Amino acid sequence: MEVKNKLSELTDEEIISEVKKGNSEYFAEIVKRHNQRLYRIAISYGIYDDDSEEVLQLAYISAYEHLNQFRGEAKFSTWLIRILINECLQLKRKKQSYRNVSEEELVTIPSGEHLNPESHYMEKERKEILESAIQQLPDKYKSVYLLKEVEGMSIEETSEALAISKVNVKVRLHRAKSMLKNFIQATTDVSTLFTFGNERCDRVNESVMNYIRRKEVEKVH
């Protein structure tokens, strides 16, 4: 069986086991699998544009360098998400842009009179407006909404990833939906929001794997 096909059949944990054995190139599969999800999580913490690529790269590199600390007590994806969140918070502190959000802070959704008056929106326009509305959510609601509704993670997985109770996940999700209820239509497919394009995905993959390859060469010498 070709390695490429073999990798697609392995779980994250099985791939990491192979990486620990010295098959460092397998880590590229981890990067490809998780780029989209990690990008959406970075967005949920207010990390955009080039900064999002930076935190993704830092998270993967940190995960690789600390693989010995991954004991398999939680899913690898959960462990990786927590590393990313830490990188997001560190970057925000560096930029001095982190702020505490009031429990009562609400999102300002554009009213109908300011939107395109046509009764049918082009899909691209609808997505852009919805993404803009979601970006206005306070971070703690935005992260829950993106993980649960956009990424399709379960209540339990979201709870583990964000290190909050399942009750808090449900409360924050309800609050987020309430903030967006006048905007999101029943036909809206939120799973297509905040896509991480192929070019950006490839760029992150190449950067992370180049770092890992340099590290492997250093070990030999």
What confidence tens digit (pLDDT) does each residue in 1-18 have?
455 558 888 999 999 999
User: What would the mean pLDDT of 193-214 be, rounded to a whole number?
Assistant: 90
Q: Is the CB of residue 142 less than 8 Å from the CB of residue 135?
A: yes
pTM of the model: 0.78
The pLDDT, as a whole number, for residue 18 is: 94
Helices (H), 21-121: 27-44, 49-65, 76-94
What does the pLDDT look like over 19-75, one tens digit per residue? 999 999 999 999 999 999 999 999 998 888 889 999 999 999 999 999 999 988 889
How many folded domains does the chain comprise?
1
Q: Are 116 and 125 in contact (CB under 8 A)?
A: yes
Tokens of 86: 């830490």
190-204: b or e for each residue (b if 16 or more CB lie within 10 Å)?
A: beebbebeeebbeeb
Which DSSP state fits 97? -
Question: Which pLDDT score is estimated for 156?
Answer: 95
Domain boundaries, position 167: 3-220
Q: What is the CATH number of the domain that holds 120?
A: 1.10.1740.10
- C-alpha neighbours within 13 Å on the C-beta side of residue 134: 26
Structure confidence at residue 183 (pLDDT): 75
So what's the pLDDT on residue 31? Answer: 96
pLDDT of residue 221: 65
Q: What's the confidence (pLDDT) of residue 127?
A: 77
- Helix (H) / strand (E) element for 213: namely helix 198-220
Note the pLDDT of residue 14: 95
For residues 122-147, average pLDDT: 84
Which is higher by pLDDT, 211 or 113? 211
Using the structure block, give the residue that is written with the tokens 């583990």: 160
**What CA–CA distance (Å, rounded) separates 87 from 80?**
11
